[in-house]
Amino acid sequence: MNQKRLLASFLLTLMLAFLAGCANVQTQVIGDTNLKSYKRAHVEALAKDEFQIYGALVVELADMGMQVVATPFKDPEDTDLLVKYTYASGWDMSRYLQSFQIQMIEAKTGRVVAVQSFASRGIWLGVRDGRLKAAFNEMRAKNGYPPSRQFP
């Protein structure tokens, strides 16, 4: 009986280690500023956004207390943030969001204040929502916000 438990425990540990190594979520806050000091944000939409990251970013930033504006800033203020994102898709039984990167840039100076990235091969954490939730939650935690309410 103990051998079965030991084997089951070993297999579970091996599986968890494998799954944990499959996804890489990273948030870098640059300098001593966090996102709470920004009041308005403009998200640069991509022409092709098959995973609708733009909409998820708008909802997330608004939930973090920022006013999200549709047009680029003509005369940016110190509290304005420009948000840019890129992504790559993959194929594993179906199309999925393989990786993405979000850059938060101080609109007035052009200084990058935060970078969020996610990368995973295969459909770990789902096709889209689980990946965005993991990334947004890490970004929110590093900037003093509660977890995302956007994803169940």
| Domain-located, residue 1 | no
Residue 65: CATH number of its domain: 3.30.160.670
| Domain-located, residue 8 | no
- For 73, the domain range is 23-142
Give the pLDDT confidence score for residue 105 in this predicted structure.
95
Number of domains in the chain: 1
Cα angle: 109, vertex 114, 116; to 5 degrees: 140
What count of residues does the chain have? Answer: 152
DSSP3 helix / strand / coil % (the chain, rounded to 5)? 30, 30, 40
pTM recorded for the entire structure: 0.78
Query: pLDDT tens digits, residue range 26-64?
Result: 677 777 778 999 999 999 999 999 999 999 999 999 999
Query: pLDDT tens digits, residue range 82-139?
Result: 999 999 988 777 788 889 999 999 999 999 999 999 888 766 556 788 889 989 999 9
Confidence of residue 17 (pLDDT cuts 50, 70, 90): very low
Q: Phi and psi (nearest 5°) for 66?
A: -95, 145
| Domain-located, residue 105 | yes
